[in-house]
Structure 1
Amino acid sequence: MLAVCGASGNLGGRTLRHLVERVDASRVVALSRTPDRVPEVGAETRVADFSDPEGLVRAFDGVERLLIISLDAITGRVPKHANAIDAAAKAGVGHVIYTSVARAGEPGNPVGVVPDHRDTERLLASSGLTFTALRFNVWPEMLTYLGIAQRAVAAGRLPGNAGDGRVGYITRDDSAAVAAAVLADGGCEGQLLEVTGPAAVREADIAEALTEATGRRVRHEPVTDEEMPTRLTALGMPAPLAEAWTEAGIARREGWFDVMTHAAERLTGRRPTSIAEFFAAERATLLAT
């Protein structure tokens, strides 16, 4: 059996859909705290709560390959990941696939979520389980979810403090397709796999892609770290978010997301979505502000 944790979530649901395109749905188990919200794809559903270690062992029974999607919680994430890893070992899961982030194991990585992912990867390495860490780069959906792209289109300028720092943006759907491929086909055992889109792009490239997608001129506006929060709040971004995005800009400038691999295309057999293609598909959203 092939199992997807977090199957009622955005990434989990997409992974399920890609998975049943590769294997018969009778081989698939959808795991969730809220199984009634799991997409209907013909798979078996089971309750799985990372706060319930004994229940997880039952949920993982008979599972050959298991996808553990990292929790969104800002605090208390690693102990719950540990519960899932321990349960997988007790249930005899053959291969665990974990959704991590870019360059999670590298010392000095300043990105706020990295310590949790690094600790989880270490737990997997010491568990005795066969595992793969899928180190996904940044989802471009973050640019629309946070309203950064829409505000840039409305204002005609994209302020940025990342300089020439590049990001290997990979869409959530492409990430799901990669996870489904490893679940379905196996392989990549023991690998800490950096997974990116087709190119690592600069903020200037994002401004150009926004211009092309919307027909509205968007100019990249380089600013200092000190100026960045003020420029963002002037565009309507809440102050805490502006501070966080400024910190992320420093990490981008320092090259922490400047990764480009062909893993996504090699594993899925399809070319991942470019930033220009992503924005073209989001044109209505970009012009709604």
Structure 2
Amino acid sequence: MLAVSGASGHLGGLILRHLLGWVDASRVVALSRTPDRVPDLGIRTRAADFAAPDGLVRALDGVERLLLVSVDAITGRAPLHAAAIKAATKAGVGHIIYTSTTRAGDPGNPSAVAPDHHETERLLAASVPAFTSLRFNIWPETLTYMGIAQRAVAAGELPSNAGDGRVAYLTRDDSAAVAAAVLAEGGSKGELLEITGPAAVSDADLAAILAETSGRPVRHVPVAEAAPRLTAMGTPAPPAQAWAGGLAWGLKGI
């Protein structure tokens, strides 16, 4: 049996849809703290909460491979991931596929999300029979749900301190397609897979794209400290700091 955690979330729901292109629904179980919110795709659902490990062990009964979708938080998720890994090991899960971030283990990675992902990868390597880490590059949707794109259009400028760095953005749907394929096939054991989009773009390119799609002028403004400028534009501190810190290492010189 194949299981997907976080199945009621945006990524989890997309993964389930792609997974049904690979395997029959009878082989899949959707895990969620809110099983009533899982998309109705003919897949069985089980309540599963990383903060309640005993119930999680029961939810993982009979699961051969688990797609562990990382908790949606900038920091503080490693303990929850550790609990999920421990429960999966106790339940006899043979292979865990984990949704990580680009260059999670690189020394000096400035991204605030990298340490938790790196710690989770370390735990997987030390604890489970087999694992695969899917190190997804940045989703372009991130710019929207953090409010960076909207505020750039409203202000007419996109400030950043990335210099000439470029990012091969990868859509959330493409990430889900990759995750579903690896889960279905069960390959790439023991691998840290860097998964990127088809083309690397700069922040100047992003500003031009925002201008084209919005029909309003948006210019790229290189600055030494992007976070204060973003907060002055109305961006909350955590997203501003995440953008200024690179969101992921990819913004710092690919």
TM-score of the superposed pair, with normalisation by structure 1: 0.81
Matched, 1:111 2:111: yes
Equivalent position SS for 2:61: coil
Give the superposition deviation at 1:153: 2.1
The within-5 A match list for 1:169-208 is 169-208=169-208
From the superposition, tell whether residues 213 and 58 of structure 1 become closer, same or farther in structure 2 (CA, over 3 Å).
same
Distance 1:44 1:253 in 2: 40
1:4-35 deviations in Å (ceiling 9; x for gaps) = 00101111111111111221111110001111
Matched, 1:236 2:234: yes
Matched, 1:6 2:6: yes
The within-5 A match list for 1:96-135 is 96-135=96-135
Give the superposition deviation at 1:178: 1.0
Structure 1 partner of 2:93: 93
CA RMSD of aligned residues (A): 2.0
Equivalent position SS for 1:21: coil
> Conserved in 2, the CA contact under 8 Å of 1:162 and 1:249?
no
Structure 1 partner of 2:145: 145
Distance 2:247 2:32 in 1: 34
* 14-23 or 40-49, which deviates more: 14-23
> Conserved in 2, the CA contact under 8 Å of 1:141 and 1:171?
yes
Matched, 1:254 2:252: yes
Distance 2:109 2:167 in 1: 15
1:27-46 deviations in Å (ceiling 9; x for gaps) = 11000111111111000111
1:153-183 deviations in Å (ceiling 9; x for gaps) = 2333222221111122111111111111111
Structure 2 partner of 1:54: 54
> Conserved in 2, the CA contact under 8 Å of 1:66 and 1:96?
yes
Distance 1:232 1:112 in 2: 17
From the superposition, tell whether residues 243 and 47 of structure 1 become closer, same or farther in structure 2 (CA, over 3 Å).
closer
Equivalent position SS for 2:220: strand
> Conserved in 2, the CA contact under 8 Å of 1:5 and 1:69?
yes
> Conserved in 1, the CA contact under 8 Å of 2:18 and 2:176?
yes
Which amino acid letter does the alignment assign opposite residue 12 of structure 1? G
> Conserved in 2, the CA contact under 8 Å of 1:160 and 1:249?
no
Question: What percentage of aligned pairs have identical amino acids?
Answer: 69
From the superposition, tell whether residues 89 and 242 of structure 1 become closer, same or farther in structure 2 (CA, over 3 Å).
closer
* 193-202 or 68-77, which deviates more: 68-77
> Conserved in 2, the CA contact under 8 Å of 1:162 and 1:250?
no
Give the superposition deviation at 1:205: 1.0
Which amino acid letter does the alignment assign opposite residue 244 of structure 2? T
Distance 1:205 1:74 in 2: 26
TM-score of the superposed pair, with normalisation by structure 2: 0.92
Distance 2:7 2:142 in 1: 20
From the superposition, tell whether residues 134 and 252 of structure 1 become closer, same or farther in structure 2 (CA, over 3 Å).
closer
The within-5 A match list for 1:2-81 is 2-74=2-74, 76-81=76-81
User: How many residue pairs are counted as aligned between the two chains?
Assistant: 254
- Structure 2 residue runs of 5 or longer lacking an equivalent are none
From the superposition, tell whether residues 83 and 180 of structure 1 become closer, same or farther in structure 2 (CA, over 3 Å).
same
Structure 1 partner of 2:155: 155
Equivalent position SS for 2:90: helix
- Structure 1 residue runs of 5 or longer lacking an equivalent are 259-289
